[in-house]
Structure 1
Amino acid sequence: MGQALSCGAADEHGLFAAVQRGDSDAVAAALLKDSSLIRRTTVYHRHSLLHIAAANGQIEMLSILLERCVNVDVLNRYKQTPLMLAAMHGKLSCLDKLIEAGANILMFEGVNGRTCLHYAAYYGHSDCLLALLAAAQTSSVSSSWGFPRFVNVRDRKGATPLHLAARQRRARCVHILLDSGGLVCASTHGYGYGYGYRLSNSTPLHMAAKGGCLDCVRELLAWGADRRQQDASGRIPYAIALRHRNGACAALLNPSSSEPLVWPSPLKFMTELNQEAKALLEKALMEANREREKAIFKKTSYSMPSPSPSDDNMSEWFLTSQANDADLCCICFDQTCTIEVGGCGHRMCAQCTLAVCCHNKPKPASYPEPVCPFCRRTIVRIAVAEPRNSWNSFSEGSSNSSFKGLSAATAASFRRMPSGGSDDIIDIEK
């Protein structure tokens, strides 16, 4: 559907065309002459003046009409509201104005039974998606539907906004919906792939496999999507990707390949994360999975654009860390400490924090609470670590004081020698 909404040829007063092009003077003059024109609709689609203004992003015109219009949720022929058309066409300013005027974000249209959230996700308008999710958290949604139900609302075929975003290759929208509580393994009950080929019990991962968006597949796998879950025809996402010749996606979805690291979203402390810390952990998660992908793609004809850091530049990592007065993680001796555990104050790099808190496949009912590897206290909160001036402060209060004096130059000189027996020999170069 295009970004402009046609008015049709049956506008004898030129009113619809004036609204479409934003001619406020012409519209004001017409309404002053005959106030009943505010209720006029186009002949076939039954678009009101509000529909046309919202779909075409005419925010000034929309404001003028809202001052004179009683029903902000007026319906067209397909039972679509002006808010739905604003979400469909990505007109954020009009969407915000309609929400401010009291537009109902819980209404369903008449063709596919979709909400404004479905439209924003399907057409990939992430800014509108965020605005609708924010409105759902502050409006009457919490007292009627509840926010989780709104995020996972289903259309007539059982598709959630996450299904539609994955099917349409909208990776940013997929991430936003997952981060807002979208159910990664929700199943449809009859969603069609087209060409007369219909499947039910399809997950968002099935949709992403069909769409062929590698970033969507990555996001869904990182949030715990099950590669072995079958649709009603017994097909797993891997089979769908092969059918549609999406080879790179098929390589990641192959059940015989290694499992990805999964974001531990069900854990209580993950909802209490400092946003900056959360961003660091998400980046570490994706980097860890990229390393896994390189090993998978190495066995196929696909290759990753950016190689991983080699052992040759390891010294540069240490020297850079020392120059920046940053602490090296006492678990991996590789990354700088960026995450601090609330309560005990011990520090780790984002990769090691993620390893402590993550599981390959999430089973929320059986999740043990993660514990600090230094003092064994339960981790209930983590935040971004403030920079310190020396290494000695890292292990303060922990039993790992033997690592305190390790300098960047010394750490960089460690190398592993080939072993002639069963034990490895660690040698320090002069």
Structure 2
Amino acid sequence: MGNSFGCSASGERLVSAARDGDFVEAKMLLDCNPYLAKYSTFGGLNSPLHFAAAKGHNEIVALLLENGADVNSRNYCGQTALMQACRYGHWEVVQTLLLFKCNVTRADYLSGRTALHFAVVNGHARCIRLLVADFVPSGPFETLNAQPNVDGCDGSNMRKKREQSTLSKFVNKAADGGITALHMAALNGYFDCVQLLLYLQANVSSATFHYGTSMDLIGAGSTPLHYAACGGNLKCCQILLAKGASRLALNCNGWVPLDVARMWGRHWLEPLLAPNSDAIFPAFPPSHYLALPLMSILNIAREYGLQSSVTLPDDADACAVCLERACTVAAEGCRHELCVRCALYLCSTSNIQSELLDIPGSIPCPLCRHGIVSFVKLPGSPSREIKLPLSISFCTPCMLHPREQDRSAPGSSRESRRNRVASVSPDHFCPITCSPFPAVAIPLCSCSDGQCPAFESRTNGNQEESSDRSEPALEDHDKMDGMRLQKTTCSNIFWSRRSCSRENQCNAEINA
């Protein structure tokens, strides 16, 4: 049980090293027995890769993957290492897993959550941008949401149409009960995530399922605006309305977003959510977490890797940023050359405001501040010296292009094909499971501009405010008041006891 190689003691030592970040111990154990990379704890709760990803030990994650660890391995709850890294916001680990072609569309067993849901629940916008790197082509931002000409026979238009549909399908993928990533970001008041998702083709009118859900406290069939009204963040409501959300949308309980705001005590949202409101919305620029060159540099990094020789060749130009590695990529436009590691780090960490950029979503060049939209590899790059280990080429192929790899190598042997695991589309599985969506912390006040004036006087004048409400609102508020008092730290409205205990069991092992 949990020890398929007869090496329980060494396996537990590797688990401890992965949890504690002891790279020397982990390397010593894997040098003696590389098969330990596939070890799992008793009952299959978590593998060393899950521990290292959850704790953010990026070097150990790369070491395990180089020694044959399955990048898409699941724990007891069906969660992958990518989900654990996105849960805790370790974007460097997410970047490493993407370089090893992890599957970003896989869902867990509990509630059908993908890594995107895990990143959104805790507001990790940088992880969200990395997750959609394979869906957003490196090009001008206007082409991202532009409608291609479907009447023409141009192959580029058809390719853009497929890329847009794939991006929209991934961003709007619903978990249990029909919860999308936009619902979660709006509920928790993460404005940066809401803004980024809306510019990544998130559906502002998507509603949760009318059946198979236990989210009665907000109501089945609710839109992201209903969830934003429950969360109470003013900027989230404003950008949703600016993007076309309806104030008159009814859920299955017959509630509009204004009713949800009143029931949860978000009185500062009433002037904005009123059906006859004439509030003026501020102009929302494109998200500053957009990084258009990310797809191009990620594909180059997968081909060349991030490793390099210790000494630079005499005829090679050193990177102007790190002064350690040879230049392998060049920025389109200004043609300044960088190493692949610095270029990837630049695309992953840059969050310059869009107003300061010539092209929204571009990355300013560190040498001339010119907007970079994509990177190209240099023709004389030493690919053999810095190529990723051979174990990467036999990992589970990404679901974004499950057949392109087979097409590109028609003469590959049957043995190498058998080593590849066929991907199964998530559309073959029913999005409704027996367990509801996980818990989400619902803050009492999530206004991003500071403490709301209505919240300051809430403790003293709560009874006076309630006397001015209508009779239906009073009855609904009384029903909800007792339940809301139990969720000041962590809401359990989306949990079943069975799902909660299973996930807590896996998380307790990681955080032990």
Please classify the TM superposition score into its range, dividing by the shorter chain length: 0.5 to 0.7
Task: Return closer, same or farther for 1:197/1:96 CA change in 2, 3 Å cut-off.
Answer: same
State the partner residue of 2:54.
55
8 Å Cα contact 1:227/1:237 also seen in 2: yes
Task: Return closer, same or farther for 1:211/1:301 CA change in 2, 3 Å cut-off.
Answer: closer
State the partner residue of 1:153.
173
State the partner residue of 1:219.
239
8 Å Cα contact 1:184/1:204 also seen in 2: yes
Task: Return closer, same or farther for 1:138/1:185 CA change in 2, 3 Å cut-off.
Answer: same
8 Å Cα contact 1:41/1:48 also seen in 2: yes
8 Å Cα contact 2:34/2:68 also seen in 1: no
Q: Secondary structure at the match of 1:200?
A: coil
State the partner residue of 2:25.
26
Deviation at residue 144 of structure 1 after TM alignment: 11
Q: Distance in 1 between matches of 2:19 and 2:67?
A: 17
Output one character per residue of 1:202-260: Cα deviation in whole Å (capped at 9) or x when no partner. Answer: 00000011111112111211212101100011100000000000111223111132154
State the partner residue of 2:229.
209
State the AA in 2 paired with 1:86.
A
Q: Distance in 1 between matches of 2:453 and 2:84?
A: 43
Output one character per residue of 1:367-396: Cα deviation in whole Å (capped at 9) or x when no partner. Answer: xxxxxxxxxxxxxxxxxxxxxxxxxxxxxx
How do 1:326-365 residues align onto structure 2 when only pairs under 5 Å count?
none
State the partner residue of 1:122.
121
Deviation at residue 17 of structure 1 after TM alignment: 1.5
Output one character per residue of 1:322-344: Cα deviation in whole Å (capped at 9) or x when no partner. Answer: xxxxxxxxxxxxxxxxxxxxxxx
Output one character per residue of 1:85-135: Cα deviation in whole Å (capped at 9) or x when no partner. Answer: 111110000001100100011111111101111111111001111111223
Q: Distance in 1 between matches of 2:245 and 2:194?
A: 12
Task: Return closer, same or farther for 1:129/1:118 CA change in 2, 3 Å cut-off.
Answer: same
* 2:81 matches 1:82: yes
8 Å Cα contact 1:223/1:263 also seen in 2: no
* 2:260 matches 1:244: no
How do 1:273-312 residues align onto structure 2 when only pairs under 5 Å count?
276=355
Q: Secondary structure at the match of 1:14?
A: helix
8 Å Cα contact 2:121/2:184 also seen in 1: yes
Task: Return closer, same or farther for 1:252/1:280 CA change in 2, 3 Å cut-off.
Answer: farther
Deviation at residue 278 of structure 1 after TM alignment: 9.5
* 2:182 matches 1:186: no
State the partner residue of 2:65.
66
Q: Distance in 2 between matches of 1:250 and 1:259?
A: 11
8 Å Cα contact 1:19/1:49 also seen in 2: yes
State the partner residue of 2:39.
40
* 2:116 matches 1:96: no
Task: Return closer, same or farther for 1:133/1:280 CA change in 2, 3 Å cut-off.
Answer: closer
Moved more, 155-164 or 248-257: 248-257
State the partner residue of 1:15.
14
Task: Return closer, same or farther for 1:278/1:219 CA change in 2, 3 Å cut-off.
Answer: farther
State the partner residue of 1:132.
131
Task: Return closer, same or farther for 1:54/1:219 CA change in 2, 3 Å cut-off.
Answer: same
Task: Return closer, same or farther for 1:259/1:224 CA change in 2, 3 Å cut-off.
Answer: farther
Q: Distance in 1 between matches of 2:168 and 2:12?
A: 46
Q: Distance in 1 between matches of 2:359 and 2:24?
A: 52
8 Å Cα contact 1:223/1:264 also seen in 2: no
Deviation at residue 44 of structure 1 after TM alignment: 4.7
Deviation at residue 47 of structure 1 after TM alignment: 0.8
Task: Return closer, same or farther for 1:129/1:279 CA change in 2, 3 Å cut-off.
Answer: farther
Q: Distance in 2 between matches of 1:215 and 1:135?
A: 29
Higher RCO (CA < 8 A, seq sep 6+): 2
TM-score (normalizing by structure 2): 0.48
8 Å Cα contact 2:79/2:109 also seen in 1: yes
Q: Distance in 2 between matches of 1:174 and 1:232?
A: 24
Q: Secondary structure at the match of 1:136?
A: coil
Q: Distance in 1 between matches of 2:256 and 2:180?
A: 19
Task: Return closer, same or farther for 1:113/1:211 CA change in 2, 3 Å cut-off.
Answer: same
Output one character per residue of 1:294-348: Cα deviation in whole Å (capped at 9) or x when no partner. Answer: xxxxxx9769xxxxxxxxxxxxxxxxxxxxxxxxxxxxxxxxxxxxxxxxxxxxx
Moved more, 212-221 or 172-181: 212-221
Q: What is the number of equivalent residue pairs in this alignment?
A: 268
Task: Return closer, same or farther for 1:193/1:205 CA change in 2, 3 Å cut-off.
Answer: farther
State the partner residue of 1:310.
none
Deviation at residue 58 of structure 1 after TM alignment: 0.4
Task: Return closer, same or farther for 1:37/1:278 CA change in 2, 3 Å cut-off.
Answer: closer
Deviation at residue 45 of structure 1 after TM alignment: 5.8
State the partner residue of 2:107.
108
Structure 2, gaps ≥5 residues long: 1-8, 139-158, 286-353, 361-451, 456-512
**Greater gyration radius:** 1
Task: Return closer, same or farther for 1:145/1:236 CA change in 2, 3 Å cut-off.
Answer: same
State the AA in 1 paired with 2:259.
A
Deviation at residue 57 of structure 1 after TM alignment: 0.7
* 2:248 matches 1:235: no
Q: Secondary structure at the match of 2:229?
A: helix
Deviation at residue 263 of structure 1 after TM alignment: 7.2
TM-score (normalizing by structure 1): 0.56
8 Å Cα contact 2:11/2:39 also seen in 1: no
State the AA in 2 paired with 1:179.
Y
Deviation at residue 185 of structure 1 after TM alignment: 1.1
Task: Return closer, same or farther for 1:151/1:113 CA change in 2, 3 Å cut-off.
Answer: same
State the partner residue of 2:442.
none
Percent of aligned pairs with the same amino acid:
30
State the partner residue of 2:299.
none
Q: Distance in 1 between matches of 2:221 and 2:103?
A: 30
Deviation at residue 50 of structure 1 after TM alignment: 1.0
Q: Distance in 1 between matches of 2:262 and 2:105?
A: 37
Q: Secondary structure at the match of 2:177?
A: coil
Q: Distance in 1 between matches of 2:281 and 2:234?
A: 16
State the AA in 1 paired with 2:177.
K
Superposition CA RMSD, Å: 3.4
Task: Return closer, same or farther for 1:113/1:198 CA change in 2, 3 Å cut-off.
Answer: same
